[in-house]
Amino acid sequence: MSGVDRVWQAVRDQPARRLCRFGQRLWRQWRVTAFVILFIVVPVKSSLADWNWVPTGSMNPTILEGDLVYVDKVAYDLRFPLTLHRLARWSEPQRGGVVVCLSPDDGTRLIKRVIGGPGDTIELRNNVLLLNDRPLAYDKAAVDYAGRLPHDLADRCIVAMEDLGSMVHPVMSIPGIRAMRNFGPVTVPHGYYFVMGDNRDISRDSRFFGFVPRQAILGRARAVVLSFDITDHYQPRIGRFLSPLK
């Protein structure tokens, strides 16, 4: 190789050397961070605890658009990170619990309330739930739940307290919109659960996509960590910070 050829070869190799040196510096600076993310953060979020931003109003008035919800992923079992494989199980989702699950339709992560478990018969008549052929009790809400909602909903929604036996919680409907207010009856098969949103008129839930397999329930939603009103320029809802979910 002539002297000129060696010079041109050196010039061509310079970008590769610079890129290699840059990669080495980057690795030295970030290798600890990469280790923490890969071997600590990812397994913890996958198997122990996580958080979910809520973009829709299907759980109004319990959970609002813009809530950041803490999810207890060891509420029912322990899973191998990044899989649905269960390593241990100590309890089952209970009626009334707010859970994070995967939609049977497309695998989307959803936050819904457990309405019935294996063996329960579910029916909806004009937005009144019947559980095992008995209509649930409904009372007027003592708390101004409607005041939490955007003004266009607060002025026209109806909020009531629904008694699931193990849990009394708010539900709402919106008169005048097209909704599925009658459904069933259906009986929940073994290994499955029936889930619904507390905003009964706009929630896509088990009325539409069917029963949720037990293995698709990822954990229980325990609390609202942070909350920002995405319908009003992301104004913080300070009163909802660190508030428990029921």
pLDDT tens, 117-171? 999 999 999 999 999 999 999 998 878 888 788 777 878 888 999 999 888 999 9
Task: Give the per-residue pLDDT at 38.
Answer: 61
User: Is residue 233 classed as helix, strand or coil in its secondary structure?
Assistant: coil
Task: Give the per-residue pLDDT at 44.
Answer: 53
> In whole numbers, what is the pLDDT of the chain averaged over residues?
86
d(CA 173, CA 162): 12
d(CA 158, CA 202): 13
Looking at residues 84-99, what average pLDDT do you find? 91
Instruction: Give me the active site residues, please.
Output: 58, 112
Return the half-sphere exposure (C-beta side, CA atoms, 13 A cut-off) of residue 7.
3
The answer, yes or no, to whether residue 4 has pLDDT greater than 50, is: no
Phi/psi of residue 221, nearest 5 degrees = -80, 120
Q: Cα 123 from chain centroid?
A: 24
pTM: 0.84
